[in-house]
C-alpha cells in the first residue's frame, strides 16, 4: 500500500530550513517574556528579530 503525504496548510513561503542556537538563561528568559507579551511563538520572535536587524543595517546609511 502506498503511503499518503500529510497535507498541511498551504503556504507561499514554506519554512524548510532549521537552525539551532545556544543561549544563556537570561536570553531565554527575554525570549519567553517577548513570547508572552506579543502572544507569538519563539520562532516568530526570532524571525522578527532577524528582520529588525536586517532592516536596521540595510537602511542605516
pLDDT for 1-46, tens place per residue?
A: 566 767 778 888 888 999 999 999 999 999 999 999 999 999 999 9
**pLDDT value of residue 10:** 82
Check: CB of residue 51 under 8 Å from CB of residue 59: no
Residue 13: inside a domain: no
**pLDDT value of residue 39:** 98
**pLDDT value of residue 40:** 98
Residue 42: inside a domain: yes
pTM: predicted TM-score of the whole model, two decimal places: 0.76
Residue 31: inside a domain: yes
Q: How many domains does the chain have?
A: 1
Residue 2: inside a domain: no
Q: Residue 50: pLDDT above 90?
A: yes
**pLDDT value of residue 1:** 58
DSSP class of residue 13? S
Q: How many helices (H) and strands (E) does the chain have?
A: 2, 0
Number of alpha carbons in the 13 Å side-chain half-sphere of residue 42: 10
Distance (Å, rounded) from C-alpha 50 to C-alpha 8? 26
Range of the domain at 37: 25-58
Cell numbers placing 30: 527575554
Residue 52: inside a domain: yes
Residue 50: inside a domain: yes
**pLDDT value of residue 7:** 72
Amino acid at each position: 500500500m502506498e503511503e499518503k503525504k500529510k497535507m498541511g496548510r498551504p503556504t507561499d513561503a514554506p519554512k524548510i530550513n532549521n537552525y539551532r542556537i545556544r543561549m544563556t538563561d537570561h536570553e531565554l528568559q527575554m525570549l519567553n517574556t517577548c513570547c508572552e507579551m506579543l502572544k507569538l511563538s519563539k520562532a516568530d520572535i526570532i524571525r522578527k528579530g532577524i528582520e529588525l536587524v536586517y532592516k536596521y543595517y540595510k537602511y542605516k546609511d
